[in-house]
Amino acid sequence: MKTLKLKLLAAIAAFTLAGSISAMAQLDTVTVKGHVTDPVGQPVTNGEIRFTTDKNLPTNEERFINVTPIDASGNYVAKGLKPGEYWVYVFQKNPQDPAAVSTDRQDLTVRSGVDMTLDFDMTSERYLKDLSPDRKKEIEDYKKKAAASIAANSVINNLNKTLANVRTDLVAAGPTKADVTKDVADMKAATDAKPEESVLWIVYGQALEAQSDHLAAEDDKVKKPLVSDDVAVKSYSDAVAAYQKGIDLNAASKKPTPADQAVAYNSIGNIDGKLGKVSEASAAYDKAAAADPAKAGMYFGNEAITMYKANQPDGAAAAADKAIAVDPNNAIVYWIKGQSLVGGAKLDPATNHYVLPPGCLEAYEKFLELEPPTDPKVKDVRDILASLNVTVQTTYKAPPATKKK
């Protein structure tokens, strides 16, 4: 019985001793964390922290017992370090040289059970005092370049925020023709800050156009003709100038984007149409279609609408034909063509029936085929044809249902 008791005590002692050794081993390892700042004061984000206890060996013979990456914020957390005397290095990678190089080193004493913080501040006197004059000059030059780059990036970031805010405002203001004076001012400041950026001028044009639409809407409420409002006319003219500036800069850039030019030309066409400059509007729409042929049908359609509103039936019919040639399924341009031609209908004395100009009836028939009967213009067309004793059998053909995938 005594022997069994002794064995149990020995087992308990062994277990306790093993548990203590394990606990001691855990206490022996510590965590070292810190932040790394480059000579310009920016976080280092492209390197790693390396630990070595080979303090008495030449640098090229040192063995690193812990290598920890620096994160995107310039921080690092090195775990599992045992007590001892260390050299702690910052290694960074140069984009032009894949081999990492040491850019800073500090001495560190790790004590058992004590987590530590070790920051690397390369703007500090500690780092700078031992550098050669050439290296110090190199850092100063780098600081100047980096400061310029940081300032430029700050400007770009602010401009991107301005663009996003203004675009959101303009979308919201569109349906109500709300006042967007602030957005005009913001975009004017943006073009002043970076006058070589075409997109800023185009969005500036959009802001000016939106504000002009607001002024025109206010005029309409009091039955004031737009052309008699010098402020609104100037605002529209300034928008055209801004759009044209954006177009010119875009075309002259290393990577032109014709689609952006097309959008700007289309806007110029819309504005010129509102100001009664019909020939200028027509030219702008043609330029939009040439810049972005994939959307030529839309731009020619806008041209047809503008010519029709300006009471220029020949021009409207010609523009409608251009739109139909590239997009034969746009109902509105057939309506415009029919409306533009129907005024030329003549009464045939022999039959006492009206004879429609060539292409007029065909345009109306195609419109009736493409446009749902619920559109009020469908009834108007049928009434016009009935008044001219012209009978049509064309009915609406609903487009095929899109198959669900």
The tens digit of pLDDT for each residue in 94-122 reads: 766 667 788 899 999 999 989 999 999 99
Tokens of 152: 């430029």
**pLDDT value, residue 393:** 78
Per-domain boundaries in the chain: 26-130, 328-405
Examine the pLDDT at 155 and tell me if it is beyond 50. yes
Tally of CB atoms within 10 A around 82: 14
pLDDT band at 132 (very low <50, low <70, confident <90, very high): confident
Q: What is the pLDDT of residue 141?
A: 79
pLDDT at 330: 95
> What does the pLDDT average to over 210-227?
95
Mean pLDDT check: name the lowest of 81-95, 242-256, 265-279, 332-346: 81-95
For 308-365, the pLDDT digits (tens) are: 999 999 999 999 999 999 999 999 999 999 999 999 999 888 888 889 999 999 999 9
pLDDT above 70 as % of the chain: 89
pLDDT of res. 12: 44
Higher pLDDT, 16 or 306: 306
**pLDDT given at position 120:** 97
Highest mean pLDDT among 95-109, 133-147, 227-241, 388-402: 227-241
Name 73's bridge partners: none
Q: Global pTM?
A: 0.66
Distance CA 268, CA 248 (A): 13
pLDDT at residue number 16? 47
Q: What is the pLDDT of residue 312?
A: 95
For helices 296-309 and 331-342, the axis angle rounded to 10 degrees is 30
Mean pLDDT to the nearest integer, 245-249: 97
Residue 139 above 60 pLDDT? yes
List pLDDT tens digits, range 27-57.
579 999 999 998 878 899 989 999 999 999 9
Is residue 330 within 8 A of residue 297, CB to CB? The reply is yes
pLDDT of residue 144 exceeding 80, the answer is: no
Is-contact 30 114, C-beta < 8 A? yes
Per-residue pLDDT band at 394 (split at 50, 70, 90):
confident
Residue 156: pLDDT band by 50, 70, 90 thresholds?
Answer: confident
How confident is the model over 281-296, as a mean pLDDT? 97
pLDDT at 22 exceeding the cut of 50: no
Q: What is the pLDDT of residue 21?
A: 43
> Residue 72 carries which side chain, given as an amino acid letter?
A
Mean pLDDT, the chain, rounded, equals: 89
Least confident of 84-98, 163-177, 296-310, 346-360: 84-98
Angle between helix 230-252 and 198-221 (nearest 10): 160
Q: Using CA of residue 321, residue 322, residue 323, residue 324, what is the dihedral sign? A: positive
Residue of 94, 101, 88 lying closest to 34 (CA atoms):
88
Burial class (CB in 10 A: 0-12, 13-18, 19+), 297: buried
Residue 405 pLDDT more than 50?
A: no
User: How high is the pLDDT of residue 9?
Assistant: 44
Who wins on pLDDT, 141 or 181? 181
Q: For residues 309 and 274, what is the distance between their CA atoms, to the nearest angstrom?
A: 9
CATH class, domain 26-130, is mainly beta
For residue 253, is pLDDT > 60?
yes
pLDDT higher at 99 or 213: 213
